[in-house]
Amino acid sequence: MEIDDNTTRVRCELGACKNRAEHAIRFDRVGIRSRLYVCDKCLRELYEAIACKIVPKSIETAKKRGAKKERK
Ligand SMILES: [Zn+2]
C-alpha cells in the first residue's frame, strides 16, 4: 500500500467529508477502483485511529523499558 499525492479533482471519500482529496491511498492487488481518496484532515484522523489501535503496545513496552532504565 502506498499513499500518493492526489492531483485530480476528487472529493474525500471518507464519511460525509466534502473536502478536496489531497491524497490517494493505493492498494495492491485490488481491481480497477483501487484507490481511496482522502483529504489531509481525514488522513490524519485515519492515522490517529490506526495509531490508537496499533501503537499503544509499543509505547507501553517503551515506557516500561524506560522506567526500568530510570530505576537503574
Ligand atoms: Zn476528508
Cα(5) to ligand 1 centroid in Å equals: 14
Position 40 scores a pLDDT of 96
- Statement: residue 12 has pLDDT above 90: yes
- When the pLDDT of each residue in the chain is averaged and rounded to a whole number, the result is 82
Cα(31) to ligand 1 centroid in Å equals: 23
Query: pTM value?
Result: 0.65
Neighbouring-strand partners of residue 5: 23
Query: Is 44 within 8 Å of 23 (Cβ atoms)?
Result: no
Residue 16 CA, distance from chain mean position: 18
- Statement: residue 16 has pLDDT above 80: yes
- Statement: residue 4 has pLDDT above 70: yes
Check residues 44 and 51 and name the one with the higher pLDDT.
44
Cα(45) to ligand 1 centroid in Å equals: 9
Cα(3) to ligand 1 centroid in Å equals: 15
Amino acid at 27: F
Cα(39) to ligand 1 centroid in Å equals: 4
Query: Is 1 within 8 Å of 27 (Cβ atoms)?
Result: yes
